Chain A
Amino acid sequence: QVQLVQSGAGVQRPGASVKISCQASGYTFTKYSLHWVRQAPGQGLEWMGIINPSGEVTTCAQKFQDRLIMTRDTSTNTHYMELSSLTSEDTAVYYCARDGGHCESDFWGQGILVTVAS
Chain B
Amino acid sequence: QSALTQPPSASGSPGQSVTISCTGSSSDVGGYNYVSWYQQHPGKAPKLIISEVSKRPSGVPDRFSGSKSGNTASLTVSGLQTEDEADYYCSSYAGSSIYVFGSGTEVTVV
Which A residues fall within an 8 A CB radius of B? 35, 37, 44-47, 50, 52, 57, 59, 61-62, 95, 97, 100, 102-106, 108-111
List of A residues within 8 angstroms of B64 by Cβ:
none
A3 to B87, CA, bound (A): 23
Residues B46 and A108 in contact, CB atoms below 8 Å apart? yes
Residue of A with least CB distance to B36: A104
A47 to B102, CA, bound (A): 10
Q: Interface residue count for B (Cβ, 8 Å)?
A: 28
A45 to B43, CA, bound (A): 13
A108 to B40, CA, bound (A): 11
Name the 7 nearest CB pairs between A and B, nearest first: A103-B34, A104-B51, A59-B97, A44-B104, A104-B36, A108-B45, A103-B93
List of B residues within 8 angstroms of A95 by Cβ:
45-46
Supply 9 A–B pairs (Cβ within 8 Å), ascending by A: A35-B99, A47-B98, A52-B97, A59-B98, A61-B98, A103-B32, A103-B93, A104-B91, A105-B91
B1 is an interface residue with CB less than 8 A from chain A: yes
Residues B102 and A104 in contact, CB atoms below 8 Å apart? no
A100 to B47, CA, bound (A): 13
Residue of B with least CB distance to A50: B97
Residue of B with least CB distance to A47: B99
A111 to B47, CA, bound (A): 12
CB of B69, distance to nearest CB on chain A (Å): 19
Which of B45, B52, B96, B104 is in CB contact (< 8 Å) with A104? B52
Residues A44 and B45 in contact, CB atoms below 8 Å apart? no
List of A residues within 8 angstroms of B45 by Cβ:
95, 108-111
